């Protein structure tokens, strides 16, 4: 056992106006942790969140004689609120290479005596987070002094949150939590709220990435400590948090707090669904000559799929800001823009290059572009939001945005022969799992697309050919004249 690398556990105490309570909480942390877990180094971090009383001074004096655990006392110069104070503590844990963090409140509401039981699943490597749940024994929660309105609110909100996130926790609102530091590193908690809904957002980040959570029952205690939570404001914020995560999952909204990279990597390939990408790939199969596929760098799944297929293609991830057709003189029968047409800063130059015949001759072009006038985008505009993000219509890679009419005009202005310009509905299969629900919504939405494509179309599919430029036409006229003259001389 002595030869094994010791696990480092940080017991992190958040404290605000706990001048009379902090010492009692420290005394209650079991010294038996040292013998119960001989291969674990326990340290304590206390962060006083700019208390209005003398919490820091009381803690400073208490620690002069406190020898049970190595302890660090810090004081925020400005109040960071409940969530903001946690962020600083978790950053401390990451910076100092701790393996796990125990979150403890400085008012004694959560029993420090439970730490030995709660820490075991983390130390054993079974889970990524442990939550002490007061609601696993509902009668115990009421006996412990939880007010009935809080008990009822806790149950209702937890049920709603489980329903929205597909989880099965008994309580979303316990403040007794333990996290693996590796799990914290995967979560964008730095972008989370500084308010009390921070705890909800961090559960969303855990559940959203499929990280392992274990709940263990804990006793409930309500004493004379001051409650700083506005219940209605808290409920509103946590419901909004769950809703925003869902709409971001659908590609409608973006907030870095809900962008979970591991989650999006695990999403099924868009190639397998009836989406705009699948439509382009089906068209690619029909093309007999060599094709050029221009793809945005984020479409790693599509690129992997294309490279496995036996297509006669070149796949490029161009520098969209400095041109596309400047890397080769090879001619292509067709050019496919996969999630890339709107990434071009100077589409006008691209269309001119197509007309001038650089790389492509008079190739046929296929692609899909987002409809910036889509109904959900319009609703965001109604409330003053123009929310660029990691995916969706307002993906921050998108340099140019179009409606049906503005795209049609652009192509016409540059003498493109438009062969198809069709509306594409929302890929509801990527949003909902229920086939019945997808069928109903898709049917109704398709009616909307036919009646009001500018409002309900999610994207537009286009096929066009570039007519030759005047320079090219003049050159062809000269060549044809020379040919005719040679025929007459015969």
Q: Is 172 exposed, middle or buried (0-12, 13-18, 19+ CB in 10 A)?
A: buried
Q: What pLDDT is attached to residue 132?
A: 94
Q: What pLDDT is attached to residue 3?
A: 52
Mean pLDDT by runs of 10 across the 490 residues of the chain is 76 96 96 95 96 95 95 95 95 96 94 96 95 84 78 90 91 94 94 92 93 92 64 88 84 80 65 77 84 79 80 80 61 84 86 68 83 90 80 82 93 88 88 86 93 94 84 84 88
CB 46 within 8 A of CB 80: no
Identify the sign of the CA torsion 73, 76, 82, 84. negative
Beta-bridge partners for 431? none
Question: 66 CB contacts (<8 Å, ≥6 apart)?
Answer: 26
Phi-psi region of 51 (alpha: psi -120 to 50; beta: other; left: phi over 0): beta
Q: CA–CA distance from 158 to each of 282, 365, 448, 460 (Å)?
A: 45, 51, 36, 40
CB 393 within 8 A of CB 374: yes
From 290, 88, 86, select the one nearest 176 (Cα to Cα). Answer: 86
* Backbone torsions φ then ψ of 366, nearest 5 degrees: -130, 145
What is the token pair recorded at 12?
């992190």
- Chain region(s) in the chain for CATH 3.40.50.150: 270-473
Q: What pLDDT is attached to residue 331?
A: 72
Q: CA–CA distance from 40 to each of 1, 26, 73 (Å)?
A: 11, 19, 21
Q: What pLDDT is attached to residue 228?
A: 66
Q: Does domain 7-250 have CATH number 3.90.550.10?
A: yes
CB 366 within 8 A of CB 336: yes
Q: What pLDDT is attached to residue 1?
A: 41
Superfamily the domain 270-473 falls into: Vaccinia Virus protein VP39 (3.40.50.150)
Q: What pLDDT is attached to residue 2?
A: 47
- Chain region(s) in the chain for CATH 3.90.550.10: 7-250
């Amino acid at each position: 056992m002595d030869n094994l690398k010791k696990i480092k556990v940080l017991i992190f105490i958040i404290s605000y106006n706990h001048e009379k309570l902090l010492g009692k909480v420290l005394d209650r942390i079991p010294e038996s942790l040292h013998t119960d877990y001989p291969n674990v180094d326990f340290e304590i971090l206390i962060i006083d969140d700019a208390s209005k009383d003398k919490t820091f001074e009381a803690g400073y004096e208490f620690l002069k004689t406190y020898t049970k655990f190595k302890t660090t006392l810090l004081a925020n110069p400005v109040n960071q609120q409940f969530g903001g104070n946690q962020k600083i503590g978790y950053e401390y844990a990451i910076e100092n290479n701790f393996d796990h963090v125990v979150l403890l409140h400085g008012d004694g509401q959560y029993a420090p005596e439970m730490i030995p039981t709660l820490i075991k699943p983390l130390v054993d490597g079974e889970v990524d987070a442990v939550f002490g749940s007061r609601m696993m024994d509902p009668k115990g929660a009421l006996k412990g002094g939880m007010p009935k309105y809080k008990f009822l609110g806790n149950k209702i909100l937890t049920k709603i949150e489980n329903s929205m996130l597909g989880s099965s926790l008994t309580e979303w609102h316990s403040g007794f939590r333990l996290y693996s530091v590796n799990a914290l590193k995967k979560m964008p908690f730095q972008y989370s709220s500084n308010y009390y809904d921070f705890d909800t957002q961090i559960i969303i980040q855990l559940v959203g990435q499929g990280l392992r959570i274990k709940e263990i029952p804990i006793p409930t205690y309500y004493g004379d400590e001051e409650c700083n939570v506005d219940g209605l404001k808290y409920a509103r914020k946590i419901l909004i948090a769950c809703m925003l995560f869902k709409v971001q999952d659908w590609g409608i909204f973006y907030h870095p707090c809900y962008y979970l990279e591991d989650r999006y990597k695990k999403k099924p390939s868009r190639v397998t669904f009836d989406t705009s990408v699948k439509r382009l790939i089906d068209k690619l199969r029909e093309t007999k000559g060599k094709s050029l596929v221009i793809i945005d760098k984020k479409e790693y799944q599509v690129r992997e799929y294309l490279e496995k297929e036996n297509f006669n293609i070149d796949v490029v991830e161009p520098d969209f800001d400095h041109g596309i057709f400047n890397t080769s003189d090879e001619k292509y029968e067709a050019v496919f823009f996969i999630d890339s047409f709107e990434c071009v800063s100077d589409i006008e130059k691209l269309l001119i290059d197509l007309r001038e015949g650089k790389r492509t001759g008079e190739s046929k072009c296929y692609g899909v572009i987002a409809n910036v006038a889509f109904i959900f985008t319009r609703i965001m505009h109604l409330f003053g939001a123009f929310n660029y993000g990691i995916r969706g219509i307002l993906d921050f890679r998108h340099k140019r945005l179009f409606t049906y009419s503005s795209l049609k005009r652009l192509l016409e202005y540059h003498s493109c022969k438009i062969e198809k310009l069709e509306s594409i509905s929302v890929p509801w299969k990527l949003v909902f799992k229920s086939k019945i629900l997808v069928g109903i919504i898709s049917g109704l939405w398709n009616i909307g697309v036919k009646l009001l494509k500018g409002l309900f179309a999610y994207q537009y599919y286009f096929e066009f050919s570039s007519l030759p430029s005047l320079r090219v036409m003049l050159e062809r006229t000269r060549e044809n004249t020379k040919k005719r003259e040679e025929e007459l001389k015969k």
